[in-house]
Structure 1
Amino acid sequence: MLPFVSIVIPAFNEERYIARCLQSLKKLDYPTDRFDITIIDNGSTDNTVAIARSFNVQVEVLSNCKVGAVRNHGVALAKGDIVAFVDSDCEVAPRWLSAAVEELSNKTTGAVGGVYLVEKAACWVEQAWITEQTSVRRETDSLAGGSFIMTKQLFHALGGFDVSLSAGEDDNLSHRVQLAGYKVIQLRDCAVVHLGYPKTLIGTMRRQRWHGSYQIESARSLSDKLLWLTHLYTLAALLLPISLLAMTLLPQAWLLMLSAALTSVLALLGIPGLAAVHRLIKYEGNQFELLKLAQLYAIYQFYFVGRMLGLIENYRRRWFRSQKSMLGADR
């Protein structure tokens, strides 16, 4: 008999997409008596809850919590031996669940999921950012929370999602799965269509600001490449105006300050370019279009601005937390 699976869906103000998510789950090729669906609403102020309840699924409201706590609450209610997470702005493919369950029968696999895809009618920002997975199965460093499946036993053994994180909780759990000695696997059949991707460059910046607000905590290690690039980009952005101001105030050091300013400009222009080239080579090999490279370059400019703002917020929060700890220790 196939294992029973509990599908957990966190939701917040997703009236636009949640019906499409639930409709896709109704089309799964997995037996309907072998899975259930629980939606954990994080205090939506729109019609998300009403729409969800119209599908005759379990809906619980847990307001003002970080997404990790919302997902963990869903697992606490889960009846299944396997827990499958999908976001309320995602559509799954018919074999999303059956393929994942089959993969989890491999005892070396700790977690399985899929990449994010976009609709055929997606805008250029979405289409440039997303590249379909060509391999049927591949090992990966992390899974997105919008398609994340694992046994409930291992989930509890690892302590679930980190409830202190507002973003990056999926990367964090993926890393702990690997530290426990298991593989993290991406399957092409487990890819999901992400309906809520940013559709503008400003939207990309805002999303990355949110992701970046916990990037220090969610980084795999101190050598995390993205974290280092974000730090370099941030330092360059801060150094540029300082160097230009110093050129006017300290004319005797203008050559040094000019060198610093030019180095900053090169970093601000070069880091997004390197990231764009790396992404294209990673997903499309050496054969890629110049148009897509230009599109990715524009996206990465806004991406790193968002990450920079998030990093500043990350340090600000950590500093205030340390100050509170010091004040508490003095009492």
Structure 2
Amino acid sequence: MVAPDPLPLVGIVVPVYNDWSRLQLCLQAMARQTYPSERLRVRVVDNGSTDWPSQPSFPLPLEVIVHRHPGSYGARNQAALDWDVDVLAFTDADCQPDPDWIAAGVVALQWRAQPPKLVAGRIVLEPQAPGYPSPGEQLDQILGFDQARTVRRAGFGVTANLLVSQACFQNLEGFHRRTHSGGDREFCHRAVAAGAQLLFAGAAVVRHPARDWSELVRKQRRIVGGRLSLAGDHPFARLKVLAQSLRPLISESVRVGRYQPLGWRRRGLLLSLVWRLRLAVLLEWIRLQHQSRTPLR
């Protein structure tokens, strides 16, 4: 009788930059995973934080790696490349995975299958006051982190909830190191072009705090900076980034307009925020045309 294959050894990668308190909540959630703890490894990558205590303690065994160069994708690469695990699971320090996150993700991944797969799990956005989101938080709930839609329409999954076999990640040499944002899109597109399959797994859930207005603006500015980093200095490529960054204005307005639970006053407020958000994107693109200006991290 042939013995069944052992469960894959899963390495969880969590980059963090100045988010000590939410990192603790993330790690507490990881300690509650139903996946066998002996088949789990965790690496936290400190990307230059200044808010850690002098003697940090953690709710589960893990390895801390220091990556001082700004950029979460380079930090993820330092943890994930050449790591002796079978599967890589990426999430962020401000996320809290559900107990079955890894178990459901591994089932969907079929890590020995060919062609290799990428699994993008579901991300649930939760406001600070349950049931009473601020306008920014509600806009984020409507527009942000819809992994099923992102996989279906944009062909990638965000690294807040992404699983891939270590062999596939290694063969592709990891994420693009130069960008502070958009590295997940670039990696997934490159992996699919190389023959990998991208899947959405609704049962693999992480929970993410809905962003308030200032965080929404900062995120969109960071995305523009990441896209310009990938585009380089070619004028046409940089104009293409501007078009890509402004294009969601219509679709986002439609999604807000069709969101049933909104009253007319709230709907009008959120629509005005959509337009203000894209104006912030335009201003950030203009700011970054000067060579001396650095993208947000």
TM range (shorter): 0.7 to 0.9
Structure 1 residues 98 and 227: alpha-carbon distance in aligned structure 2, compared to 1, 3 A threshold: farther
**Which residue matches 2:20?**
15
Choose the corresponding residue for 2:162, options 144, 148, 159: 148
**Which residue matches 1:114?**
121
- Of 44-53 and 71-80, deviating more is 44-53
In 2, the alpha carbon distance for the partners of 1:134 and 1:14 equals: 24
Percent identity over the alignment is: 23
Letter in 1 for 2:43: T
**Which residue matches 2:243?**
228
Deviation string 1:63-93 (CA, Å, 9 cap, x unpaired) is 1332111000111363211111110110111
Letter in 2 for 1:213: G
Structure 1 residues 144 and 52: alpha-carbon distance in aligned structure 2, compared to 1, 3 A threshold: farther
Give the gaps of 5 or more residues in structure 2.
1-5
**Which residue matches 2:140?**
129
**Which residue matches 2:226?**
214
**Which residue matches 1:188?**
202
What secondary structure does 1:118 align onto? strand
Structure 1 residues 217 and 275: alpha-carbon distance in aligned structure 2, compared to 1, 3 A threshold: farther
Structure 1 residues 65 and 101: alpha-carbon distance in aligned structure 2, compared to 1, 3 A threshold: same
Q: Does 1:84 align with 2:89?
A: yes
On the 8 A contact 2:86/2:166 being kept in 1, the answer is: yes
Deviation string 1:266-291 (CA, Å, 9 cap, x unpaired) is xxxxx84x23334358xx7x856454
**Which residue matches 1:75?**
80
Q: Does 1:300 align with 2:290?
A: no
RMSD (Å) for aligned C-alpha atoms: 3.4
In 2, the alpha carbon distance for the partners of 1:307 and 1:158 equals: 31
Deviation string 1:19-65 (CA, Å, 9 cap, x unpaired) is 11001111111111111101010121112685454643211212133
1:133 offset after TM fit, Å?
5.9
Structure 1 residues 134 and 167: alpha-carbon distance in aligned structure 2, compared to 1, 3 A threshold: closer
1:187 offset after TM fit, Å?
1.7
1:154-169 residue pairs with structure 2 within 5 A? Answer: 154-169=168-183
Structure 1 residues 44 and 217: alpha-carbon distance in aligned structure 2, compared to 1, 3 A threshold: closer
Structure 1 residues 86 and 134: alpha-carbon distance in aligned structure 2, compared to 1, 3 A threshold: closer
**Which residue matches 1:276?**
252
Q: Does 1:203 align with 2:221?
A: no
Structure 1 residues 22 and 178: alpha-carbon distance in aligned structure 2, compared to 1, 3 A threshold: same
On the 8 A contact 1:17/1:88 being kept in 2, the answer is: yes
Deviation string 1:168-198 (CA, Å, 9 cap, x unpaired) is 1111111111111222222222232113x43
TM-score, normalised relative to structure 2: 0.79
On the 8 A contact 1:52/1:59 being kept in 2, the answer is: no
Letter in 2 for 1:228: A
TM-score, normalised relative to structure 1: 0.71
What secondary structure does 2:20 align onto? coil
Letter in 1 for 2:276: F
Letter in 2 for 1:110: K
In 1, the alpha carbon distance for the partners of 2:54 and 2:166 equals: 26
On the 8 A contact 2:81/2:174 being kept in 1, the answer is: no
On the 8 A contact 1:43/1:64 being kept in 2, the answer is: yes
Q: How many residues align?
A: 275
Higher relative CO (CA 8 A, sep ≥ 6), structure 1 or 2? 2
Deviation string 1:235-272 (CA, Å, 9 cap, x unpaired) is xxxxxxxxxxxxxxxxxxxxxxxxxxxxxxxxxxxx84
What secondary structure does 1:305 align onto? helix
